A and B are shown apart, each in its own frame.
Chain A
């Protein structure tokens, strides 16, 4: 895409976060959407593009009273919203629409008006994975990890360090679900969910949502909030079955998406002030740091242990506390984008001083898909 041609002008999460038993899934979408419209001073009639995952963009448009000329229902898991941002940027630049609303809402914990996760027994995953007993992401997303640890010379303590440091960030965030400090021993000693993953290496299960509103950089100057420009974008998909991932030590979707985003944005790794790597489980930041090129293979665990990603470190990572400590409703990518936007606006609870470039990197499914957005707060 064209650098800085598009900007985020509205961004908000749901009014409440965590346990919201009195709001349904579509209600969470709407709450986030209304908050984002209020953030930029727009009404539903001002929106002419919609994008969402989990529910259909038809559901969203009708519920919100929007008559769009652009609708994107890309649904590739938790990074769908990164792809929505990318597609919206292209659509606005192509003149398909002017102002795009992207929403996420999920009743992950309370399951109010929520669908199921069932896979048809005739699908490839239904035939070649489900008969062997996987039970959701904790037993699937984690399958490559023992191979990864062995290949890299990492240990389960390295996974624990990821959770410990993210809890340090969460402690600074009033909206984080878990704020109390934890130790490596706490993480290793927590309930075993799926060896080698304990509960504290797995994301939270909460209710919530978020919404973004994008328009052209030219128009963005007229909105009340500081525009956050899209500098570069990437996306890719690999496989609907984690067992068929080409390389258990590296995500092809991460590598392709990341490389594209760096190329589009024309930046180098040292230009990045702030980074979000979707952490549904503690191994994802390690894969992300390596596959995005911030660390050489085998160096990510030491990089985290060395406190480079911790408060005060040179590459602040998952500064909202991440899916491990902040919140995780199911498709967390929206919250990673929200935190990047807050950091670029300079209003994050754990604000990185002077941050000018932020990357939000998402994963979808179990290493199935990926999307990467590079943000800048400097006007074109």
Chain B
């Protein structure tokens, strides 16, 4: 199996990937307006254009917003069908991820099911943020 396709952080996104390595899902928010949290990372507020933004550790909670189950796996993703999901984070933004510790079936993957983040180290630099169903 070829190595998994991994992100190459840029100066503007480095804090996010450092956060994943440290076990934190880091979002950004504006301190000038009440535009709320945003994603993906950028050093200014996409609502008002202010550069006064801060990074913070998000809750890591969200719900399953939408997904497909890819029946023809990409070579670096193994041989079994897998869901490519979009998670709606508790803080507002949406992000693409995979749902782990859960059967990759329409029956198991119910829209709006609560999820929580979990990080999987891929190498010394990169940990990917995945999501798993909230237990209980």
Binding site for B on A (CB under 8 A): 120-122, 124, 126-135, 139-140, 142-148, 150, 191-197, 241, 243-244, 248
Contact = CB atoms under 8 A, between A and B. Distances in A.
Nearest to B12: A124
A135 B5 contact: no
A145 to B, nearest CB: 7
B128 A131 contact: yes
B1 interface: no
B96 interface: yes
B94 A243 contact: yes
Given A132-B84, A133-B70, A146-B67, A127 B106 contact: no
Interface of B: 4-10, 13, 17, 39-40, 65-74, 77, 81-82, 84-86, 94-98, 106, 111, 128
Contacts of B71: 191-195
Contacts, number: 108
A250 B84 CA distance: 20
Contacts of A140: 84
B84 A193 contact: no
A250 to B, nearest CB: 13
Nearest to A128: B40
Contacts of A196: 68, 106
A121 B94 CA distance: 20
Given A122-B9, A133-B73, 11 more contacts: A127-B9, A128-B95, A128-B96, A130-B7, A132-B84, A132-B85, A143-B84, A148-B66, A243-B94, A248-B65, A248-B66
A134 B69 CA distance: 10
Contacts of B84: 132-134, 139-140, 143, 194
B103 to A, nearest CB: 13
